[in-house]
Structure 1
Amino acid sequence: MTTSDKEFKVNKTEQEWKEILTPEEFNVLFKHGTERAGTSPLDKEYGEGIYECAACGIPLFTSETKYNSGTGWPSFYKPIENAIETSVDRSLFMTRTEVHCSCCGGHLGHVFGDGPKPTGQRYCMNGVSLKFQPKGDK
């Protein structure tokens, strides 16, 4: 199962994903759902560490690039190199840039051009699509 015609490094069937993810994680990551703003505890997480893909576990963002965007979703100004891929999302009667995990293709959120310096980008991520690993863990 993929978000496009691309083969990803981690590629599972819908049933295999459903066996390892919660229903909400599966809906967001593989059905392009969105969690309600303000519902993720990761929005207010500011400890040092790494934010990983909830589906496959690859590192996506570091705590150094996280900031409070005021949107109610965890936001970052820069992903870890080669961690994400993007595609055009024309749902909801608008065109947005959708962000996917480069390893499994899971939907993470969207990126917008209204973020802080130095990149000017706001990677607005669904907290349910992420797992936080505090520095020193693992």
Structure 2
Amino acid sequence: MKEEQNKEVKQQAKHLLADEVATMLMRSDAQTLHWQGTRADLMEALYLTYTSCRLIDDQGLYMTFSSIVQQACRKLNYRIPRNPREVAARAMRRKGFKARPFLDRYAMLVNRNPSCKPFEDQIQMG
């Protein structure tokens, strides 16, 4: 029962995260944005957005992971890692007390305060 509830909370958090990423990608290029979090957190968030199948390109197809990474890194003035998929995979395998996957931390923060936006909080404007 508790595990089912945990899965549902994580799934909800994943959809909220995808919505936050979509909002960031739709911002105008006139706004200068900078990513303040870790590279692993950014790539994990983008990969989770990709797997949620919530972003659609101009042709009506689901966006590829590489196109999401390219657009997000361009918007956030962030250098694209050589292998973004590997960075995301390593980030999602994090274990331990201090280094938890981004989705776990995101779900915990959103569950505690539904109005917070943990992804957006990692973005500095200006």
The two structures have a TM-score, normalised by structure 2, of 0.28
More strand by share: 1
The two structures have a TM-score, normalised by structure 1, of 0.27
More relative contact order in 1 or in 2 (CA 8 Å, sep 6+)?
2
More helix by share: 2
